[in-house]
Chains A and B, each alone.
Chain A
Amino acid sequence: MILLALAWRNLLFRPWTTLLSLVLAALGAGLISLILLLNWQLEQQFDRNLAGINLVIGAKGSPLQLMMSSMYHISSPTGNVPLDAVKPFLNPEHPYISLGVPLSLGDSYRGRRIVGTRPAFLELYGARLAAGNMWTEVMDVVAGATAARELNLQLGDTFSSSHGLIEDDDLTHRDAPEFRVTGVLAPTGTVADLVLLTPSESLWAVHDAHEAHGDDHAAQPAYRVTGPLTQYSEKAITSVLLRFRGTSVAGLNMQRSINENTEMQAVTPSIQLAELYATMGQGEEVLRQLGYVVVGVSILSIFIGLYASLDRRRGELALLRSLGAGPGKLFGLLLLEGTITAAAGAVLGLLASHFGLFLIARYFSETYRYDFRALVFLPEEGGLLLGSLIVGALAAAVPAWRASRTDVHRTLAG
């Protein structure tokens, strides 16, 4: 205890040297911690929203874009596909498909995506109603928990949608019928929380009204939203999410067949995610290596700081020996100074990385409507703290050994 207090006071007595070592240790630990946290958060978000989806079918274009727009509701869709072309995948009797969920994307309300779909969407993400009812008519909306909270939507509220994902008055469909909130989902921790769900027909109705604008005599088609989507022809949707019955080779063949023989593309999310992780992994590796370099520099800084102070402190070290402190205590004193610096730096670094994550989370929340949690602590961060103690002890070991061998007689005899 006495050594700990003395080490602490010694560090405070030379604030600039301590600060430099502290900042370097914090930078190294903070960088590594931030990479760990971001990685974990992204994988959590991606994996949670994988929702057992085996295949995404949509218009040709970037496979990553199709997956990101249809599964994570980030970025724009690749285009539309004719409903007739995907009807077989929406057939509940399909021998290889256990669940087919149609998606119609393209509109939003105050930055929240409106997803035209069928109630099977809820099954995909394990969602259930917390209030109100499922839709029974065109323009009925069931809001995800986060979307309802942030948009302050109550049952019975009405709103007009906008084209695209951007909040822009000029893009609002003012001549289209208004959406009406009939239900709110309970939180699921998935992408279902972030969107506004409506029958696919609602999006068609919005665009029907848009096309009929100025023509008062144009007949509005009648839609029956409780029936299967396959009842319609000559309509288009954005994509279909498929869950297979078990793991089937037929599923792989289906993907190849769609890609080779149709105007559509089929994407396997797990493969796309693996490719995404591999791409991100390269950048992550560079940053991680940079973190290790900074940690190395911080070790050097602690070592130099302590070693350079030895000459100046020889008198006080000899004094401590003369007062009855053994060589082990002198060794311990210097070792503590090194480990306190490294550990305090690591704690600062972890705090900074969580603050950084908080800022990134805010950005993601504002830009992509995704919720990251800044107050998640990973077991690896505990390892990082433990590692910092070891690193600090290693950096201080040589100066500490020299301190323990202080020649009391020569020093005190002047």
Chain B
Amino acid sequence: MSAATIFGLCAAAAIGLGLYGLITNPQPLRKILAFNLLGSGVFLIFGVVARRGAASGFGGDPVPQALVITGIVVAFSATALAVALLLRLFQATGSATLRADASPSPGTDPDAA
């Protein structure tokens, strides 16, 4: 089993765990963490792609590495934005939940807004 395969499997595992957490966990902070795990898995895939593309004598294909740096910056800003929103939500309501029934659900409370 080559190193690329092992890293590929690790990436798949991280993506699977992250996806599971992002979909099933009701707490927003855990969703944000799960998104980061998911993102790490994807970045690892880029690493594997860079390694596989390097078969023609190079140490590594530089393009996926450049893409990963951009991806990390994007994921970082996404996390920052999400945490900022979460903090704001916590300050405003004293709890942090995404459940629709915790907010005025559309159609039942016309005076909500």
Q: Specify whether A and B are partners.
A: no
Which residues of B are at the interface with A, using a C-beta cutoff of 8 A? none
